[in-house]
Structure 1
Amino acid sequence: MNLIYAALALLMALVFTLAGVTRAGSWLIERRNPSVGGFADIDGARIHYVHIPAPENADLPPVVFSVRSYRTTLFGSWFRMLCSRSRDGGRLSWGTFNLHGASANLRDQMLPLRPLLEGRAEMVFFDRPGLGRSGRGSGNDTPEAQANTIAALMNNLGIKKAIIVGHSFGGAITTAFALQHADRTLGLVFVSPATHPWPGGATAWYYNLTTIPVVGRLFSETLSYPAGMLRMAAATACVFSPNQVPDGYVTEASIPLVLRPSAFRSNARDVAGLYRYVLGAAPHYRDIEVPTVIISGDRDKVVYATIHSTGLARDIPGAELVWVRNLGHKPDWIAPDLVAGAMEKAAGRDVDLHALARTVEARIAGDAHAGECADLKAPEAELAPT
């Protein structure tokens, strides 16, 4: 009996120690990664964002729309949309809205993309509900709800229409926004998106574990920080593989913010619910009628590019798919010039994205940082329903 009590006491001591380490680590993470923008209270959630207004002479998007890149049958509606820009108080009423993926925050896209478009376009980068410095609120557990949060933030900022740019998990929210707020969608850019049902619908075990009441909370409050810190370098290498992780990426992009217990739980709920959303949403992508560009690497080790990217190109009328050889899951960092070009293309400019892709390919042809990541290969038969 004494041995049982001793074991229980040891277990409790270990739990409290891990909880203390996690709390201390979370405090240090927040101290080292302060907010960099403003906040807006939206339906009970305190949303953190960075808003970069455009100057009066901003050149995106142009009024003239290039029909060569999209289906002629849709030209009329897209042209009217592009010409419907208006000015309120001397400022353009369109903008670009950038949605980061799972486990990330607004800095993940802002750092590589802002320098390329600042002064030319109105940009908004925001921490999705529960991640980065944003609060979760009650009811932001689905892509549809987060799309509504985006629309509300657009209202606060006076942006009538936007080009929505979504990376990875952000691609699912991009589709939700386009389906629910078509009148506010100027164009879409998908970067290594997750948008379609995939074989089995499985996700990493710790996401599902974290969503279990009590057990999940205990896991996030004790192990998310120490285990996450131990695995962060290897996991980041897999996300970028076969490309090199940029120097200082984890620190500069504030990636450890996701290891705080509340953020870890929010991220887990997002990922664990993704399959259910895409299963219902994918058959409706054919209803999207705005200029759409998809950028995908053929060496992506995070999502099934041949399911998600190929599926979008098939399902969204006139969508343009740009494949890049030897590119992993992070075009926003490895090929930011191509992503910026895709935003210009979605805005109506005549940009040769495939020529840009060949330039990127020449730049990364020698990358071979495989790490411990296995290649993802999905059978063609598992493509989403048409």
Structure 2
Amino acid sequence: MTALLIFLLILVIAHVLGAIQATHIIAARIAEENPPGGVFVPVTGGRLHLFDLGAGHDAGRLPVVLLHGATSNARDMVYGLGEELSRSRRVIAVDRPGHGWSDRPNGRADASPAEQVKLIVEGLEQRGIRRFVVVGHSLAGSLAANFALEHKDRVAGLVLLSGATHPWPGGINWYYRLSATPVLGQIFVHTVMTPAGSWGLKKSAEDAFIPGSGPADYVQRTSAALVLRPREFRWNGQDVAALKAFLEVQSRRYGEIKVPTAIVADPADHVVSTPIHSEALHRQVEGSRLILLPGTGHQIHYTARQQVLAEIECVADEAEALQRHELPRAAE
């Protein structure tokens, strides 16, 4: 019996070591195939990776800061909106801390949207970006709203796309919860998750576009595989696991938001509930516009790109008009 137990233990250890080795090989290949394409800027404790597009445009036009959601990185926003938007104004698309090629200086503490915003503010300062329109998709709706609440001197306008802004009934997907767990999470992300995730990545990306479909080259163009690296997937799980409690507190303050605001969503979004999030935010932010686009799904910045671009420009134009009106008073 003892010999059998020893044999089984050796077998388990061999499988675990094999899984760790496979994870290391796959993660290294992912990193090599998806190198950083933007610039690195220093922040406290590390550096952020971002894309700075259209920097040569009229300095009088407000720049736009694009923030990506969970299980993603800045290339998702660049491909979806940034390339086209940068034809008319400066665009900064940021890898949130711990995602893409950005560092996570404070580990789990940087799961807080407020802490991520503080680091992003540092990065924007390094690029000379001091006042802007902020656009947040999905989980980054929480960051965009935090920008408008905690950095009022910087945010001139706010656009939320399928944004997560309020606490919701129920929990989160098991793999987020497991990856965020202190001990088991480390085992999960360094053994099972990366090989399994590589197999299911394309299907997962397709599901995000339901009921429509995304670009055929979406996974490649957005470097979606980067999230399968163990540390990033663990940090991603921490972000999702910390979000609900954070929004319990932040969502009580949305009446403080006074900048031009557009909220864009599909009424039947199957990832982020529009009634719980977008419609509730619209009721709290006086003067906000709620744009409902049925059949566009969660990846609304792809499936309704032109409508979304138009809303961003509308908010930016309104913010610029308000800014021009305020300048004479500031000079007096």
How far is 1:295 from its partner?
Answer: 0.8
Partner of 2:327: none
Map 1:1-386 to 2 at 5 A: 1-56=2-57, 58=58, 91-92=59-60, 94-138=62-106, 139-200=109-170, 202-348=171-317
Kindly provide the amino acid, as one letter, of the partner of residue 248 in structure 2: L
Cα distance in 1 between the residues matched to 2:46 and 2:160: 26
Cα distance in 1 between the residues matched to 2:104 and 2:60: 30
Kindly provide the amino acid, as one letter, of the partner of residue 256 in structure 2: D
Please say if residues 164 and 189 of structure 1, whose CA atoms lie closer than 8 Å, have aligned partners that are also in contact. Answer: yes
The secondary structure found in structure 2 opposite 1:182 is: coil
Q: How many residues align?
A: 316
Cα distance in 1 between the residues matched to 2:206 and 2:51: 27
Kindly provide the amino acid, as one letter, of the partner of residue 321 in structure 1: L
The secondary structure found in structure 2 opposite 1:163 is: strand
The secondary structure found in structure 2 opposite 1:347 is: helix
Cα distance in 1 between the residues matched to 2:128 and 2:239: 28
Cα distance in 2 between the residues matched to 1:53 and 1:330: 24
Partner of 2:322: none
Note the aligned Cα RMSD (angstroms): 1.5
How far is 1:308 from its partner?
Answer: 0.6
Please say if residues 52 and 122 of structure 1, whose CA atoms lie closer than 8 Å, have aligned partners that are also in contact. Answer: yes
Give aligned-pair identity as a percent: 35
Cα distance in 2 between the residues matched to 1:286 and 1:134: 32
Please say if residues 260 and 318 of structure 2, whose CA atoms lie closer than 8 Å, have aligned partners that are also in contact. Answer: no
Cα distance in 2 between the residues matched to 1:44 and 1:93: 32
How far is 1:233 from its partner?
Answer: 2.5
**What is the TM-score of this pair, normalised by structure 2?**
0.92
Cα distance in 1 between the residues matched to 2:273 and 2:314: 25
Kindly provide the amino acid, as one letter, of the partner of residue 150 in structure 2: Q
Q: Which runs of 5+ in 2 are unaligned?
A: 320-332
Please say if residues 297 and 324 of structure 1, whose CA atoms lie closer than 8 Å, have aligned partners that are also in contact. Answer: yes
Distance 1:184 1:349, change over 3 A: closer
How far is 1:343 from its partner?
Answer: 0.9
Report runs of 4+ in structure 1 exceeding 2 Å deviation: 53-56, 91-94
Cα distance in 1 between the residues matched to 2:184 and 2:290: 42
Cα distance in 2 between the residues matched to 1:3 and 1:301: 49
Please say if residues 285 and 315 of structure 1, whose CA atoms lie closer than 8 Å, have aligned partners that are also in contact. Answer: yes
The secondary structure found in structure 1 opposite 2:110 is: coil
How far is 1:246 from its partner?
Answer: 1.4
